Amino acid sequence: MKRNKWMCFGLLLFIPCMFGCWNNVSASELRNQDVNEKAVQAADSFVLPGEFEAIESVWLAYPCYDNLAGRPISEVQGAMIKALAPNHYIDLLVQDEDDRAKAEQWVASLEIPEGKVRYHSVPHTDVWVRDMGPIFLSNRKGGLRVADFGFNEWSYSNPTDPDAMEDERVDRLVARDLKLPIVRSSLISEGGDRESNGRGTLITTEAVELQRNPCMTKEQITDELKRVCNVRNVIWLKQGLADDDLTYYGPLPNGKLPVMTTGGHIDEYARFADPHTILLAEVSEAERDEDKVDAITYERMETNYNILSHAVDQDGQPFTIVRVPIAEPIEVTVTEKDPIYQKLAELEYVKGYTFKKGEPVTIVLAASYMNFLIANDVVLVPTYWKEGRSERMKEKDARVQQIFEKVFPNRKIVRINPENVNAGGGGIHCISQQMPKAANP
């Protein structure tokens, strides 16, 4: 993940609170954006849809960097586009006309049906469309709007950092390009930490939302999520995967560094498969007993399971919970030749860890089976086993295949290795965004 312009520890503690409180007092002073106010006032008829509902397209951002030397992000995106293009449009963000020419040449090499990729000149510094890009709200008549949340690069930057500001306005530029009304919010919140069942229930992570908005209470955040996403029911899970804790906290208990991670995004561990079914990551007792990191994740996921087991939807009905195994840890040793190394070297670590510049460092990829993408007729699911890797990884890949085939019986399961993206702290879901079908596409 790029996520540069890192803040020092003092600023990390002070600036988010300063800007969070300022944000909450007056969004119009902090965010200058033309909005159709009458349309915003009528936003109660628009909801955050479930990702399993019908879509017109999937949004991606043409890469402007890679994480590992010789392992381009575009390889993962190319596999995604090939799987999606037969029955979906791809809306691709490019920087400018020169960037578009490069992107068109790359797309031509994929040999997909002509006209399936639509290009949008929107300046951006990153590929994480789920978090910086448009969050589409829809109504049952096919109308669309864009929810515009605040963005501070997952707390790695303050809101006035140039890169954060450039990526923070991507959603508004897309809305302008599509001539869609905007629903504004002063809440700092990323799309990767919200799961909706499309019927009035939303799931999010307490550790993430409170960390991003230190001057807001959980009740205030709940009210804002209800307002913007037009939901009646917000379920708060506690924490995400242990290896998704913020990188500037330093190494995991096994001594390895996570890579530019989000602090616990919901799309790494809990997802709606339909309005009534939730997929939840699971650590086995054997894994808990043999690995310190897995032991932490085990406790967190069982706490989350307990919450979901006692939770109900917007109509008071319980959920069906399907457990999905966590991915086997994938470790990579990186050096100065790898772009991700420089990002790690620039961080200000807050718990006594010193990054030894010039020396190789072992990182843990953000591998997760839960970071999948649902489309109309396919589900793009991570796969990790290859020759030379453990039998347990192979068995997990096979078990995940069976789970997804059962949960999504009317969709084809397409397996994609996302490691080139995982090396930056996210996955297939993180670099994409579904756009619901519009009334007048």
- Of the candidate ranges 36-40, 115-119, 158-162, 258-262, the one whose mean pLDDT is the lowest: 36-40
Q: Tell me what pLDDT residue 4 has.
A: 43
Q: Tell me what pLDDT residue 440 has.
A: 55
Averaged pLDDT for residues 216-221: 98
Averaged pLDDT for residues 387-401: 97
Let me know if residue 1 belongs to a domain: no
Q: Tell me what pLDDT residue 33 has.
A: 38
337-388 pLDDT tens trace:
999 999 999 999 998 899 999 999 999 999 999 999 999 999 999 999 999 9
Mean pLDDT over each residue of the chain, to the nearest integer: 91
Residue 253 confidence class, pLDDT cut points 50, 70, 90: very high
| Number of domains comprising the chain | 1
Contacts 24+ apart (CB under 8 A), 70-78: 71/419, 71/420, 71/423, 72/420, 73/127, 73/420, 73/421, 73/424, 73/431, 74/106, 75/420, 76/416, 76/417, 76/418, 76/420, 76/421, 76/428, 76/431, 77/431, 78/106, 78/110
Averaged pLDDT for residues 303-328: 98
Q: Is the pLDDT of residue 302 over 60?
A: yes
Q: Is the pLDDT of residue 6 over 90?
A: no
Let me know if residue 28 belongs to a domain: yes
Averaged pLDDT for residues 33-52: 62
- The model's pTM: 0.91
Domain residues for 71?
Answer: 9-436
Let me know if residue 381 belongs to a domain: yes
- Give me the CATH number covering residue 150: 3.75.10.10
CA distance 418 to 428: 6
Let me know if residue 4 belongs to a domain: no
Helices 97-109 & 73-84 angle (0-180, nearest 10): 70
Q: Tell me what pLDDT residue 438 has.
A: 81
What amino acid is encoded at 277 in this protein?
Answer: T
Closest Cα partner for 270 from 221, 299, 235? 235
Alpha helices in 72-151 (DSSP H): 73-84, 97-109, 129-132
Averaged pLDDT for residues 203-226: 98
| DSSP notation for 341-382 | HHHHHH---SSS----TTS-EEEE----TT--EE-SSEEEEE
User: Beta partners for 204?
Assistant: 236
Q: Which helix (H) or strand (E) holds 277?
A: strand 277-282
Let me know if residue 257 belongs to a domain: yes
Let me know if residue 84 belongs to a domain: yes
Q: Tell me what pLDDT residue 158 has.
A: 79
Kindly list the distances between the CA atom of residue 205 and the CA atoms of 202, 237, 367, 417, in Å, as whole numbers in the listed order.
10, 5, 19, 26
Q: Tell me what pLDDT residue 163 has.
A: 87
101-130 pLDDT tens trace:
999 999 999 999 999 999 999 999 999 999
Let me know if residue 3 belongs to a domain: no
129-163 pLDDT tens trace:
999 999 999 998 889 999 999 999 999 987 788 88
Residue 99 confidence class, pLDDT cut points 50, 70, 90: very high
Closest Cα partner for 283 from 294, 271, 292? 294
Let me know if residue 441 belongs to a domain: no
